[in-house]
């Protein structure tokens, strides 16, 4: 068995054994098996990635099995390994392995640990199937697999109504996007007569300028196919309009949040667009749609993240915003920059989520930052790792020298948007939105740090905290803190934080040449994949004015300064500002009222229509004249029969006499 087959199928085997055999092997064995399998996959993935970076490995396809042969539709189950796959392999397996290890400490008290670890491994297998697909049907198999696994993980605590509701919401919203993806696959097969990704991309230029019938109209073939594919990406990657499931996914355990938000499900859409980039390059209209949606999502999520109080929701909206960056990078043609940010984002976003989980663990599962404060002395390791993650996501660095991971990847996207802007696209819009979103990102990221680790200890004497903490009689007697003291997490949680910190600090500087610099390896790295690498755009990025290069740094420093002034120097400023701009504050706090709008437009009419079908159709018609009607008729007949079955001989004799009279009468009438 080859290394790529081990990487992909070992998590599946571990998930099956841990899930089905949990009662036989127990929780410790299930955790050991699944965690060990993921670390083996991770160890095998890094040499593949580094081999592509160095140029020692060339793309190849590993046949697994024959799959479908039906008329003109023919494809096999194959594992495609190229540089684009290699990036996703290290991202998925590294984050998943560390999330598995982290879950040993975080889920220690949960009675269903084997089921949880089985779901994690199943999720990882589905994502690995998606990124190694050599045809669109296999990609869709992995696409739906991560949807199923995310439903199981978000609703893991199934006795919690809000978790069940969040899982259903994620599943339903993603089905909307998946419908677009399916229609895109159907349309591609109709046009190209194949679902093989290499064959589709090779034939894409021939279809430029052609038209196809869709909804009774003649539309540009490439535009309609790419937009349908992008609708699928919008669902999986939580872009504006199909984003509403992502914040509610925080109802799942924190390791699930890190896995979904950092490296797997939400990046599937970005990966798919980059995998199909030669197809998207054939339609400027589709690329403009990607730019507008991505940039608008970046600013939308950033504004909402400004005012959230739940620590996990702040980071969730941050994920949504960063995905917007990746998409508008792809829209302007900087697919390599989009993948670079996906790569670095995996490290610092997983770090921030798992760091938030460590804070929540220390605060006995309290997630409201308003009840935190002054925690840096109580949980110093968590504090410093989250500082590293914050420096990475806000893009701290020095132009010309280097910096944290986000400095290299996010700045590259902003520079690419400026360099690509022209009359034919919306690159200028993406550039200005990207810079402003960078300012907001810095503000809400440092707001999280200041509220959590600095200021006064708002958990001391807080009735809210005291009600949520299980105190011993000895602890309850300590009046100053109410008997509660935050504590650092166990090593199984801290070790993943330390390893992710290394990635958040150094991944951007180490791998920037391979990802985005044409003169120093970028062309060679991406030549070993299907990704469209725009050499001219990369050169133009180097030649942008200095003020463009400094714009994101200025935005970052501005956001940091404003957050410092509001939450350290004058901690009553946020309340005053919210009171002054109450309508705007409510607009942001209520997430631009998307949930309320969807409830009004879709949910309530759906319930109303469903109630009509239920009461009028199901109960009033089908049940009335079907099972209920037939049952009532039988019951009526039974009651009549009971009256005849009296048990008296004279009653039966009377019936026999009446029957005999009726028979004789009929015979006399018939004889005439």
* Cα–Cα distance for residue pair 559/564, rounded to 1 Å: 9
* Cα–Cα distance for residue pair 175/664, rounded to 1 Å: 72
Region 3-26 average pLDDT:
91
* Cα–Cα distance for residue pair 532/361, rounded to 1 Å: 44
Residue 80 DSSP SS3: strand
Q: Which helix (H) or strand (E) holds 69?
A: strand 60-70
Per-residue pLDDT reduced to its tens digit, 364-388? 888 889 888 889 999 999 999 999 9
Identify the DSSP state of 618: I
Per-residue pLDDT reduced to its tens digit, 529-545? 999 998 889 889 888 99
Tokens encoding 87:
């990036």
Helices and strands (H, E) in the chain, number of each type? 31, 6
* Cα–Cα distance for residue pair 212/223, rounded to 1 Å: 10
Per-residue pLDDT reduced to its tens digit, 87-104? 999 999 999 999 999 999
Alpha helices in 132-196 (DSSP H): 136-154, 161-192
* Cα–Cα distance for residue pair 349/505, rounded to 1 Å: 12
Residue with tokens 């060990």: 36
Tokens encoding 386:
């989250």
Q: Can you give the pLDDT at residue 476?
A: 39
Return the closest-CA partner of residue 391 out of 484, 509, 289, 312: 509
Identify the DSSP state of 195: -
Q: Can you give the pLDDT at residue 263?
A: 57
* Cα–Cα distance for residue pair 447/568, rounded to 1 Å: 9
Q: Can you give the pLDDT at residue 262?
A: 62
Q: How confident is the model at residue 38 (pLDDT cuts 50, 70, 90)?
A: very high
- Is residue 527 within 8 Å of residue 533, measured between CB atoms? yes
Per-residue pLDDT reduced to its tens digit, 615-636? 887 777 787 777 777 888 888 8
- Is residue 254 within 8 Å of residue 354, measured between CB atoms? yes
Per-residue pLDDT reduced to its tens digit, 471-521? 433 443 344 444 567 888 899 899 999 999 999 999 999 999 889 886 666
> What pTM was computed for the model?
0.89
Give the side-chain half-sphere CA count within 13 A for 633. Answer: 8
Supply the mean pLDDT for the chain.
Answer: 88
Q: Can you give the pLDDT at residue 259?
A: 83
Per-residue pLDDT reduced to its tens digit, 147-202? 999 999 998 888 888 889 989 988 999 999 999 999 999 999 999 999 999 999 99
Q: Can you give the pLDDT at residue 484?
A: 60
- Is residue 542 within 8 Å of residue 535, measured between CB atoms? no
Return the closest-CA partner of residue 386 out of 401, 376, 397: 376
Identify the DSSP state of 626: T
* Cα–Cα distance for residue pair 657/661, rounded to 1 Å: 6
Q: Which helix (H) or strand (E) holds 299?
A: helix 284-305
Region 435-446 average pLDDT:
95
Q: How many residues does the chain have?
A: 672
pLDDT exceeds 60 at position 470:
no
Q: How confident is the model at residue 261 (pLDDT cuts 50, 70, 90)?
A: low
DSSP string, 432-483: HHHHHHHHHHHHHHHHHHHHHHSS--TTTT-HHHHHHS---HHHHT-TTTTT
pLDDT exceeds 70 at position 453:
yes
For the stretch 216-220, contacts whose Cβ atoms lie closer than 8 Å and that sit 24 or more positions apart, written own/partner, are: 220/283, 220/285
Q: How confident is the model at residue 328 (pLDDT cuts 50, 70, 90)?
A: very high
Return the closest-CA partner of residue 338 out of 159, 538, 496, 473: 538
* Cα torsion through 364, 365, 371, 377, rounded to 10: 50
198 contact partners, CB below 8 Å, separation of at least 6: 134, 530
Residue 542 DSSP SS3: helix
Identify the burial level of 384 via C-beta atoms within 10 angstroms of its C-beta, where 0-12 means exposed, 13-18 middle and 19 or more buried.
middle
Q: Can you give the pLDDT at residue 475?
A: 40
Region 114-118 average pLDDT:
91
**Most confident option among 128-137, 235-244, 424-433, 457-466:** 128-137
């Amino acid at each position: 068995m080859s290394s790529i087959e081990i990487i992909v199928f070992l998590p599946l085997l571990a998930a099956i054994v841990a899930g089905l055999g949990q009662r036989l092997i127990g929780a410790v064995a299930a955790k050991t098996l699944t965690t060990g399998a993921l670390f083996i996959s991770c160890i095998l993935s890094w040499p593949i990635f580094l081999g592509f970076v160095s140029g020692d490995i060339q793309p190849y396809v590993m046949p697994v099995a024959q799959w479908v042969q039906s008329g003109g539709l023919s494809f096999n189950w194959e594992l495609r390994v190229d540089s684009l796959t290699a990036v996703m392999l290290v991202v998925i397996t590294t984050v998943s392995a560390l999330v598995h290890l982290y879950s040993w400490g975080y889920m220690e008290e949960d009675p269903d640990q084997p089921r949880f670890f089985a779901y994690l491994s199943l999720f990882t297998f589905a994502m690995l199937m998606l990124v190694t697909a050599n045809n669109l049907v296999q990609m869709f198999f992995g696409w739906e697999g991560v949807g199923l696994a995310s439903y199981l993980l978000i609703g893991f605590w199934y006795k919690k109504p809000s978790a069940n509701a969040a899982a259903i919401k994620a599943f339903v919203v993603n089905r909307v996007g998946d419908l677009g993806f399916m229609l895109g696959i159907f349309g591609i097969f109709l046009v190209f007569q194949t679902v093989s990704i290499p064959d589709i991309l090779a034939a894409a230029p021939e279809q430029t300028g052609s038209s196809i019938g869709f909804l009774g109209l003649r539309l540009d073939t490439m535009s309609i196919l790419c937009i349908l594919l992008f609708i699928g990406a919008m669902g999986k990657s939580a872009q504006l309009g199909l984003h509403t499931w992502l914040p509610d996914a925080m109802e799942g355990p924190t390791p699930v949040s890190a896995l979904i938000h950092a490296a797997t499900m939400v990046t599937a859409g970005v990966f798919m667009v980059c995998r199909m980039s030669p197809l998207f390059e054939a339609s400027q209209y589709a690329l403009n749609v990607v730019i507008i949606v991505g940039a608008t999502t970046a600013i939308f999520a950033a504004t909402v993240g400004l005012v959230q109080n739940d620590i996990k929701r702040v980071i969730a909206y941050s994920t949504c915003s960063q995905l917007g960056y990746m998409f508008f990078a792809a829209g302007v043609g900087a697919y390599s920059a989009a993948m670079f940010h996906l790569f670095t984002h995996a490290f610092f976003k997983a770090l921030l989520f798992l760091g938030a989980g460590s804070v929540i663990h220390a605060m006995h599962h309290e997630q409201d930052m308003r009840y935190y404060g002054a925690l840096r002395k109580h949980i110093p390791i968590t504090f410093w790792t989250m500082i590293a993650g914050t420096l990475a996501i806000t893009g701290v660095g020095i132009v010309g020298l280097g910096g944290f991971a986000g400095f290299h990847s996010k700045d590259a996207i902003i520079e690419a948007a400026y360099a690509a802007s022209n009359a034919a696209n919306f690159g200028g819009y993406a550039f200005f939105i990207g810079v402003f979103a960078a300012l907001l990102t810095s503000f809400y990221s440092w707001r999280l740090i200041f509220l959590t680790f600095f200021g006064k200890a708002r958990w001391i004497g807080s009735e809210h905290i005291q009600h949520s903490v299980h105190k011993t009689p000895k602890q309850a007697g300590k009046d100053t803190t109410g008997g509660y003291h935050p504590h650092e997490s166990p090593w199984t949680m801290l070790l993943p934080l330390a390893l992710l910190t290394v990635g958040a600090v150094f991944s951007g500087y180490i791998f920037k040449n391979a990802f985005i610099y044409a003169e120093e390896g970028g062309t060679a790295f991406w030549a070993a994949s299907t990704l469209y690498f725009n050499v001219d755009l990369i050169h133009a990025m180097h030649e942008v004015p200095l003020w463009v290069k400094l714009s994101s740094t200025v935005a970052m420093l501005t956001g940091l300064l404003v957050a410092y002034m509001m939450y350290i120097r004058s901690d009553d400023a946020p309340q005053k500002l919210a009171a002054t701009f109450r309508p705007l504050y409510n607009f942001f706090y209520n997430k631009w009222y998307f949930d309320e709008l969807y409830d009004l437009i879709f949910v309530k009419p759906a319930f109303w229509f469903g109630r009509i079908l239920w009461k009028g159709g199901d109960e009033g018609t089908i049940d009335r004249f079907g099972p209920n009607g037939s049952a009532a008729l039988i019951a009526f007949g039974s009651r009549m029969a009971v009256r005849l079955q009296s048990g008296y001989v004279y009653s039966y004799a009377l019936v026999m006499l009446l029957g005999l009279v009726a028979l004789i009468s009929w015979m006399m009438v018939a004889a005439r």
